[in-house]
């Protein structure tokens, strides 16, 4: 299990990084590498070149401005998780990040990288989708902001063009009086969840987003749904599938149980 050869670039500026990426259609961006490097080692991915963005300045910043938590492309999960500001302004991020793999992986893995990877079993894409956040991306052609609703196109497939680098993720801050909750059930602590649910309750509005039970992170509006029907209402929009760890029927049951629990908890947080 060793990577195939590739060229390696470690540009010092975003412009250089974008130029290299634009010039090589088989190049890939390397940030935290916690998903990419195993794929390289298993030779499931064999890019011609890696553009290592770890030397780019300013990308590790985590800031709260204009009603949004802005997480830079090089901010490690651990840094986001540890940020008091993030916890205060968008507690859902910390709640979800605590479930991302193990601490050692969070020390290196980046939150933006996890979003770009667009794994439907990952927590952060669901969080971004639920909060109606967005991704800032740059290319030699300019910059743009991709709303979460347009970002996740398929399993492991995002709307980023090949020559684009995600520079930051934007998570709207939690409105005063709103409440959030996150819970998931995994085979082992730290594994990808068999099912995970994030919920936000704001006044009458109740929304939930799901991990591992649909091909792309799916947000379900549960506003006005009676408590007893929450699970079924969610399932109407989801597509749990069989895999080696859980049957579709079991995942569906987890959707029911977790939706009830997480919505109740988010309501509790909202009331608090």
Contacts with another protein by CB under 8 A lie at: 1-8, 10, 30, 33-34, 37-38, 40-43, 46, 50, 52, 54, 78, 101-105, 107-108, 185, 187-191, 194, 244-247, 249-250, 253-254, 256-257
Residue 157 or 253 with smaller CB distance to another protein: 253
Cα separations in angstroms, 243 against 38, 54, 157, 252: 21, 35, 20, 13
What's the CA gap between 166 and 169, in Å, rounded? 8
Alpha helices in the chain (DSSP H): 14-23, 36-41, 77-82, 84-89, 91-97, 103-106, 111-117, 123-131, 148-151, 230-235, 248-271
* SS3 of residue 189 by DSSP: coil
Residue 219 or 254 with smaller CB distance to another protein: 254
What's the CA gap between 121 and 85, in Å, rounded? 27
Whole-number minimum distance, CB 69 to another protein, in Å? 22
Residue 33 or 147 with smaller CB distance to another protein: 33
What's the CA gap between 238 and 113, in Å, rounded? 25
Residue 169 or 194 with smaller CB distance to another protein: 194
Whole-number minimum distance, CB 87 to another protein, in Å? 17
DSSP 8-state class, residue 229: G
What is the number of alpha carbons within 13 Å of residue 205 lying toward its C-beta? 12
**What is the dihedral sign for C-alpha 24, 27, 28, 30?**
negative
Residue 50 or 71 with smaller CB distance to another protein: 50
Whole-number minimum distance, CB 52 to another protein, in Å? 6
Whole-number minimum distance, CB 48 to another protein, in Å? 8
Residue 118: left (phi > 0), alpha (psi -120 to 50), or beta?
left
Whole-number minimum distance, CB 21 to another protein, in Å? 16
Whole-number minimum distance, CB 171 to another protein, in Å? 24
Residue 206 or 254 with smaller CB distance to another protein: 254
């Amino acid at each position: 299990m060793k990577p195939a050869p590739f060229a390696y670039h470690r540009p010092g500026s975003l412009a250089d990084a974008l130029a290299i990426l634009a010039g090589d259609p088989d190049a890939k961006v390397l940030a935290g590498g916690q998903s990419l490097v195993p794929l390289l080692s298993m030779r499931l991915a064999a890019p011609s070149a890696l553009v290592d963005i770890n030397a780019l300045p300013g990308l590790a910043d985590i800031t709260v401005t204009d009603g949004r938590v802005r997480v830079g492309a090089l901010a490690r999960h651990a840094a986001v998780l540890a940020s008091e500001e993030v916890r205060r302004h968008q507690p859902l991020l910390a709640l979800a990040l605590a479930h991302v793999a193990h601490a050692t992986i969070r020390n290196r893995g980046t939150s933006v990288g996890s979003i770009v990877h667009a794994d439907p079993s990952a927590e952060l894409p669901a969080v971004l989708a639920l909060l109606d956040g967005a991704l800032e991306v740059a290319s030699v052609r300019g910059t743009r902001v991709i709303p979460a609703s347009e970002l996740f196109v398929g399993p492991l497939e995002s709307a980023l063009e090949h020559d684009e680098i995600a520079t930051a993720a934007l998570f709207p801050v939690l409105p005063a009086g709103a409440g959030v909750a996150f819970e998931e059930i995994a085979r082992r602590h730290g594994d990808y969840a068999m099912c995970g649910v994030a919920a936000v309750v704001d006044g009458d509005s109740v929304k939930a987003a799901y991990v591992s039970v649909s091909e792309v992170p799916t947000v379900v509006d549960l506003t006005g749904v009676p408590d007893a029907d929450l699970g079924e209402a969610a399932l109407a929009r989801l597509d749990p599938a069989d895999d080696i760890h859980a049957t579709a029927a079991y995942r569906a049951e987890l959707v029911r149980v977790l939706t009830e629990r997480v919505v109740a908890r988010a309501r509790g947080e909202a009331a608090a």
